[in-house]
Amino acid sequence: MTALSANAIGAKVFLIGAGPGDPGLLTLKARDILASADVVVYDALAASALLAYAQPNAELIYVGKVADNHALPQDAINALLVRTARANKIVARLKGGDPYIFGRGGEEALALLEAGIAFEEVPGVSSAIAAPAYAGIPLTHRGMASSVTIITGHESADKPASVHNWKALAASASTLVFVMGMKNLPDIAANLLEAGLAPTTPAAVIYRGTSTAQRSLLSTLARLPEEAAEFSNPSVIVVGQVAALRDRLNWFEQQPLFGKSVVVTRAREQASGLASLLTALGAEVLEFPTIEIRPLPEYSKLDAAIARLSGYTWVIFTSVNGVRHFWRRLHYLHKDSRALAACGIAAIGPATAQALAEHGIRPDFVPTRYVAEGITDGLLSEHGKTLSGAYILLPRAAVARDALQKTLTAAGAVINVVPCYETALAVARKEEVLQRLEAGTLSCVTFGSSSTVENFLTQIPPKLLKQYPQTRLAAIGPITAQTLRSYGLDCHIQPKEYTIPALVDALRNELP
pLDDT (tens digit per residue) in 27-52 = 999 999 999 999 999 988 666 779 88
Confidence (pLDDT) at 129: 97
Q: From the candidates 22, 38, 43, 98, which is the catalytic residue?
A: 43
Considering the four listed CATH numbers 3.40.50.10090, 3.40.50.720, 3.40.190.10, 3.30.420.40, the one that applies to the domain covering 294-423 is 3.40.50.10090
Instruction: Clarify whether 144 is annotated catalytic.
Output: no
Query: How far is the C-alpha of 114 from the C-alpha of 391, rounded, in Å?
Result: 73
pLDDT (tens digit per residue) in 230-254 = 999 999 999 999 999 999 999 999 9
For residues 45 and 306, which has the higher predicted lDDT (pLDDT)? 306
Average pLDDT on 378-404 reads 81
Q: From the candidates 65, 89, 95, 260, which is the catalytic residue?
A: 65
Instruction: Clarify whether 1 is annotated catalytic.
Output: no
Q: From the candidates 95, 180, 182, 260, which is the catalytic residue?
A: 180
Confidence (pLDDT) at 455: 86
Confidence (pLDDT) at 292: 78
Query: How far is the C-alpha of 370 from the C-alpha of 68, rounded, in Å?
Result: 55
Confidence (pLDDT) at 293: 83
Query: How far is the C-alpha of 166 from the C-alpha of 382, rounded, in Å?
Result: 80
Q: Is the model's pLDDT at 67 over the cut of 60?
A: no
Confidence (pLDDT) at 412: 87
Average pLDDT on 280-297 reads 87
Confidence (pLDDT) at 148: 97
Highest mean pLDDT among 8-17, 42-51, 63-72: 8-17
Average pLDDT on 278-304 reads 89
Q: b/e per residue, 335-368, with b = 16+ CB within 10 A?
A: eeeeebeebbbbbbbbbbbebbeeeebebebbbe
Query: How far is the C-alpha of 490 from the C-alpha of 263, rounded, in Å?
Result: 16
| Lowest-confidence pick of 135-149, 270-284, 438-452, 462-476 | 270-284
Q: Is the model's pLDDT at 178 over the cut of 90?
A: yes
* DSSP 8-state class, residue 23: G
pLDDT (tens digit per residue) in 415-448 = 999 999 988 776 667 888 899 999 999 999 999 8
pLDDT (tens digit per residue) in 123-144 = 999 999 999 999 999 999 999 9
Q: Is the model's pLDDT at 93 over the cut of 80?
A: yes
Considering the four listed CATH numbers 3.40.50.1820, 3.40.250.10, 3.40.1010.10, 3.40.50.2300, the one that applies to the domain covering 8-125 is 3.40.1010.10
Confidence (pLDDT) at 269: 61
Confidence (pLDDT) at 291: 74
Instruction: Clarify whether 65 is annotated catalytic.
Output: yes
Q: Class for domain 129-253, per CATH?
A: alpha beta
| Lowest-confidence pick of 98-102, 291-295, 448-452, 504-508 | 291-295
Confidence (pLDDT) at 431: 87
Confidence (pLDDT) at 372: 63
CA atoms within 13 A on the CB side of 1: 13
CATH 3.30.950.10 maps onto the chain at 129-253
Average pLDDT on 470-480 reads 94
Query: How far is the C-alpha of 386 from the C-alpha of 380, rounded, in Å?
Result: 5
* DSSP 8-state class, residue 509: H
CATH 3.40.50.10090 maps onto the chain at 261-290+426-510, 294-423
| Lowest-confidence pick of 2-11, 342-351, 464-473, 492-501 | 2-11
According to CATH, the topology of domain 261-290+426-510 is Rossmann fold (3.40.50)
The CA angle 496-502-507, to the nearest 5 degrees, is: 100
For residues 424 and 294, which has the higher predicted lDDT (pLDDT)? 294
Q: Is the model's pLDDT at 322 over the cut of 80?
A: yes
Residue 300 in contact with residue 310, Cβ under 8 Å? no
For residues 71 and 158, which has the higher predicted lDDT (pLDDT)? 71
Confidence (pLDDT) at 8: 64
